[in-house]
Amino acid sequence: MIDHPGPMPHLPGEAPTRAWRDHDLHVDILPACDLGNSSFLVSDRSQHAAVVIDPTRDVARYLEALKRSNLSLTWVLDTHLHADFVSGGRELAELAGARFGLSEQIGATFPHVALSEQDTMQLGESHLSMIRSPGHTPEHVSFLLHDPGGRPRVLFSGGSLMAGTAARPDLLGPRFTNTLVREEFTTLRERYRSLAGSVTVLPTHAGGSFCGVGARAVATTSLARERQTNPLFRSRDLAAFFASFLSDQPYPSYYGRSRATNLAGGRPLGPTIPELPPLDAAEVERLRTGPSVTILDIRPGPKFERAHVPGSLSISSDGPLSAWVGWLRPENETFVIVDDDPVGRRAVQLGLLRIGYDGVRGYLSGGLPAYVAAGFSTASTRRLSMAVVRKVMEKGTPFTLLDVRNPDEAARAHVPGAINIPLPRLERDANAALSRELPLFVHCQSGYRAGIAASLLERMGFDDVRHVTDGPEAWSARKPRIARAHRHR
């Protein structure tokens, strides 16, 4: 295993990709895969001028992209106060000598340019204009790129329009939700009415973001396509729009903190992010018993369950890891990463920094084999299928079946007798709702959340926890009857 990978200009899957081009006018997407988001580098190559829209906190990748293409950054723009990540806008603007533009309705106190709908941002021979587009948030704005002839070409819609939906209006609580739904209705039908269907739409939020429910997993769309296929455009009156737009899906608890952090300007990370330091097994063993420390095991679930550091939290890096950490652990937590992939470790480090979690202390040097070689004992978690759960139930063996899906999922289909505690509420509710005297079988829909839940329950001191690797559909499934050949004697 390689403990010290060289510096990477970008994470796998996050290299800048060309989203749109017209002669010297280019738009590149810089994705944040862990968040399901995109940020944008807009450039006039003939004038070597650039604008960055909705940058994440790890600003080094934008500086590298600017340097590689010999571009000078003139503006950094944020479409809204982001809830799902800490903006890198303020720091990027300061490091690159650019202006940082925000909606005048935000009222930020740090240095910035307060933008109104009368303002334009020059980009070489082209320019961007601002459109007020509240709905996802009250202060939300979008930016429209005009070519050198003044024709609108690309809409950077933030969360006001996504592929198949728009970003949810309920992140500020019920006091604001109904008003924001009405604002979104007006944004789509009035504020965007004059824009031609040929305008390319580049949303910041996309499929995989908890800011949107039902978004398609595409980074680029068009106004024409959305007007034809997006249910929010197809809702003809406000009542139907409410029904299409509102969702009772939960969202990560760290969202409220991120808005406040972005309003204050965020803590800068610097132009480079250092590699995580290696920690030997003895140091990890000392740290794991300390207060406010989480041993975060990012290996695939089967590897974790075969053997792991006792008390570890298993959140595999093949899912939305940073969102789940932000949901389940406090912001001031200290983390030690256990992995078998240095690239995955770097992705987790950046993912946590992007949501404001700065407490990653280091990683277990040599991985779990080094921990075992140092003489420390490991723990393991039993795995079983829903078919086995069914057999155990039919035998009359006592156990508790725990469903950690969301309530709406459990209402649509559930296993008889299962107790439903959604994963985000598990640490709060488990002690009161669950018996420690019975084996505890934990399931979700596909196994990912159940794996996190099983490790969390073990961390809480539940002794006999078993991870059910499939969901309710497997409970109801019947194996086809197999015709058996009879031997003639």
Evaluate whether 313 touches 295 at the Cβ level (below 8 Å).
yes
Rounded CA-CA distance 231/214 in Å is 10
Evaluate whether 455 touches 461 at the Cβ level (below 8 Å).
no
The pLDDT assigned to 166 comes to 95
The pLDDT assigned to 475 comes to 84
Identify the helix (H) or strand (E) that includes residue 288. Answer: helix 281-288
Rounded CA-CA distance 330/341 in Å is 25
Rounded CA-CA distance 69/352 in Å is 28
Rounded CA-CA distance 362/278 in Å is 6
Evaluate whether 263 touches 108 at the Cβ level (below 8 Å).
yes
The pLDDT assigned to 3 comes to 40
Rounded CA-CA distance 244/267 in Å is 37
Biggest CA-to-CA distance, the chain: 94
The pLDDT assigned to 217 comes to 78
Q: Give the CB-side neighbour count of residue 394, counting CA atoms within 13 A.
A: 7
CA 376 from chain centre, in angstroms, equals: 34
Neighbours of 211 (CB within 10 A): 29
For residue 334, give the amino acid letter: T
Q: Where are the domains of the chain?
A: 17-264, 278-373, 382-476
CATH of region 382-476: 3.40.250.10
* CATH topology agreement for domains 278-373 and 382-476: yes
CATH of region 278-373: 3.40.250.10
pTM of the model: 0.92
pLDDT in tens, the chain (489 residues): 334 334 455 788 899 999 999 999 999 999 999 899 999 999 999 999 999 999 999 999 999 999 999 999 999 999 999 999 999 999 999 999 999 999 999 999 999 999 999 899 999 999 999 999 999 999 999 999 999 999 999 999 999 999 999 999 999 999 999 999 999 999 999 999 999 999 999 999 988 888 887 778 788 999 999 999 999 998 989 999 999 899 888 999 999 899 999 999 989 999 988 899 999 999 999 999 888 999 999 999 999 999 999 999 999 988 889 999 999 999 999 999 999 989 899 999 999 999 999 999 999 999 999 999 999 999 999 999 999 999 999 999 999 999 999 999 999 999 999 999 999 999 999 999 999 999 999 999 999 999 999 999 999 999 999 999 999 988 876 543 333 333 333
CATH fold for the domain made of 17-264: Metallo-beta-lactamase; Chain A (3.60.15)
